[in-house]
């Protein structure tokens, strides 16, 4: 298998707006981070936290196209020593032109090209931006089309606008596979991509970085389905790597809540156990800003060491088939229940606090993720809203699915989810039985969630409800939240709960 010369980043800071607290680099008291301040955030993530990589997000949000100009101009000495593209990495997440209007795609690509020019002018020896993430990737053809568009734009700029210095007409793509099926079928998509790539560009790929979603997959099909999808994808990507004799470096997009992957400074060992074979993890805003900075820095070091030595877990074909069936069962229960809860949740979604300059989620500039025909909020809003009413979303559909498994299915599932009891024992502390009873009195569909909780408790034998003073206060606020009808008061209650929990969503 090829040995690559570039450094593969292990720790990727992202702009996911899941923090409850004010970021350490801000002077104001507001936890909101404007698009303009994200350049300061990127630098502080590199220089203070020592993250390897920072995702610059053009998908469905405002992005500062002067990012490289500002980083180089304001922090020249740092980046002369720690060069972008060699020692540190800034990776664009491009808009998916098949899902939203592509107004910002050319802007992002032009930024990549001008960044190369600036680096040359400063006599840096490395092109700063050379790879990009395509969200919601579905096909090999999509990846090729984006790369081809970039090559054409680079060649056009070199011919028409760059005097005596050509731009590199290559942009390496990182596919972001979000749904269960696309994650499961990632090897087939990638196999076709390798063939098309060599045919189109007349050169082979030296390696692949592949991104697996952990948030939107849970939003779409529930937590059990999502975590199984991630585990199967990691195993199948390792098998694919061996089959094609090409290094594959998986990335997981995971947040602090267990529903969104469970990566927090407190649970590094647990995270590494649940994502074997992973090479890059996203440390999102709650990870970085809702814990003391020294604890965050220590956790990043531990996480980096663990990822560098992490090895994939093999599964037999029979085990994979069983887990696929389990995932399908759980998705059925999740959809069956969630469809009946959306109307009750909408006022909470509407009151949810903002942390970033997001574009409107639907309409001309944005896009909408839908579940069973319902327009859904982003995963952080969904997750935080359910936590805030005292119903951790991990439980929805999970309990009934677990109870429906036969002995063999249950044994295989527990074998590949070693922290099952740890996770749900912790989650049970955020259940507000009073809030759930109030919701159930108005809408009997919430009783299905109560059954999920009861089934989980019967199997795992955990205590339900708060175990300390902060959790008791969180429980009281959850009960208040389901009763109030005033939107500003709802927002205030959600903010208070987020600080108590140590994450927004």
Q: How far apart are CA 334 and CA 372, in angstroms?
A: 11
Q: Which residue has the tokens 């942009």?
A: 171
**Contact present, 503 and 287 (Cβ < 8 Å):** no
List, in order, residues 6 or more apart from 130 with CB less than 8 Å away. Answer: 85, 112, 168, 170, 171, 172
Digit-coded pLDDT (tens) for 366-422: 345 566 666 789 999 999 999 999 999 999 999 999 999 999 999 999 999 999 999
pLDDT at residue 331 in the model:
98
Return the domain boundaries, the chain: 34-177, 319-501
Q: What is the pTM of this model?
A: 0.96
Percent of the chain at pLDDT > 70 equals: 96
Beta carbons within 10 angstroms of residue 463's beta carbon: 11
List, in order, residues 6 or more apart from 23 with CB less than 8 Å away. Answer: 31, 33, 41, 44, 285, 288, 289
Digit-coded pLDDT (tens) for 282-301: 999 999 999 999 999 999 99
**Contact present, 290 and 281 (Cβ < 8 Å):** no
- State the angle between helix axes of 186-201 and 223-244 in degrees (0 to 180), rounded to the nearest 10: 40
Distance of CA 382 to the CA centre of its chain: 14
Digit-coded pLDDT (tens) for 427-441: 999 999 999 999 999
Give per-residue burial for 59-97: e unless 16+ CB within 10 Å, then b.
bbbbbbbebbeebbeebeeebeeebbbeebbbbbbbbbb
**Contact present, 381 and 503 (Cβ < 8 Å):** no
Q: Which two tokens stand for residue 284?
A: 């999102």
pLDDT at residue 364 in the model:
30
**Contact present, 53 and 303 (Cβ < 8 Å):** no
Q: How far apart are CA 216 and CA 236, in angstroms?
A: 20
pLDDT beneath 50: ranges in the chain: 360-367
Digit-coded pLDDT (tens) for 97-151: 998 777 799 999 999 999 999 999 999 989 999 999 999 999 999 999 999 999 9
Cα torsion 145, 149, 154, 160: sign: positive
According to DSSP, the residues that pair with 251 across neighbouring strands are 211, 280
- Cα–Cα nearest to 326, from 235, 406, 236: 406
Collapse the DSSP code of 471 into the 3-class scheme (helix H, G, I; strand E, B; otherwise coil) and give the result: helix
Q: How far apart are CA 170 and CA 155, in angstroms?
A: 10
């Amino acid at each position: 298998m090829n040995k690559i010369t570039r450094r593969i980043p292990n720790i990727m800071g992202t702009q996911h707006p899941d923090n409850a607290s004010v970021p350490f680099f801000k002077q104001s008291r507001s936890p909101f981070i404007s698009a303009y301040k994200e350049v300061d955030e990127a630098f502080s993530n590199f220089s203070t936290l020592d993250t390897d990589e920072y995702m610059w997000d053009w998908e469905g949000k405002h992005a500062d196209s002067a990012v490289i100009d500002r980083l180089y101009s304001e922090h020249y000495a740092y980046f002369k020593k720690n060069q972008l593209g060699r020692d540190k990495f800034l990776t664009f997440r491009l808009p998916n032109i098949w899902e939203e209007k592509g107004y910002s795609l050319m802007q992002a690509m032009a930024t990549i090209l001008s960044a190369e020019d600036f680096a040359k002018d400063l006599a840096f020896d490395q092109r700063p931006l050379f790879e990009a993430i395509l969200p919601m990737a579905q096909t090999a053809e999509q990846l090729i089309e984006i790369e081809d568009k970039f090559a054409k734009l680079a060649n056009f700029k070199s011919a028409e606008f760059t005097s005596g210095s050509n731009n590199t007409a290559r942009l390496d793509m990182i596919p972001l596979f979000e749904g269960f099926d696309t994650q499961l079928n990632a090897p087939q998509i990638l196999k076709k991509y390798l063939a098309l790539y060599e045919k189109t560009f007349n050169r082979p790929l030296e390696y692949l970085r592949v991104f697996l979603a952990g948030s939107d997959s849970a939003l779409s099909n529930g937590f059990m389905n999502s975590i199984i999808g991630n585990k199967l994808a990691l195993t199948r990507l390792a098998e694919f790597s061996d089959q094609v004799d090409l290094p594959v470096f998986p990335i997981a997009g995971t947040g602090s809540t267990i529903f969104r992957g469970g990566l927090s400074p407190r649970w590094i060992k647990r995270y590494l156990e649940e994502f074997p074979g992973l090479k890059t993890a996203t440390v999102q805003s709650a990870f970085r800003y809702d814990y003391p900075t020294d604890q965050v820095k220590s956790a990043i070091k531990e996480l980096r060491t663990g990822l560098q030595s992490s090895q994939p877990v093999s599964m037999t074909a029979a085990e994979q088939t069983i887990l696929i069936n389990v995932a399908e069962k759980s998705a059925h229960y999740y959809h069956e229940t969630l469809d009946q809860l959306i109307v009750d949740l909408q006022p909470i979604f509407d009151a949810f606090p903002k942390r970033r300059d997001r574009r409107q989620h639907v309409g001309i500039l944005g896009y909408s993720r839908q579940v069973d025909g319902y327009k859904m909020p982003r995963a952080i809003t969904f997750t935080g809203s359910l936590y805030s009413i005292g119903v951790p979303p991990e439980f929805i559909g999970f309990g009934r699915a677990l109870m429906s498994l036969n002995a063999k299915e249950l044994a295989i599932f527990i074998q590949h989810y070693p922290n099952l009891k740890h996770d749900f024992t912790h989650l049970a502390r955020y259940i507000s039985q009073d809030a759930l009873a109030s919701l159930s009195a108005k809408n009997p569909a919430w009783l299905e969630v109560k059954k999920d909780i009861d089934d989980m408790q019967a199997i795992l034998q955990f205590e339900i409800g708060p175990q300390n003073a902060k959790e008791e206060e969180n429980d009281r606020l959850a009960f208040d939240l389901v009763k109030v009808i005033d939107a500003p008061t709802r927002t205030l209650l959600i903010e208070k709960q987020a600080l108590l929990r140590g994450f927004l969503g």
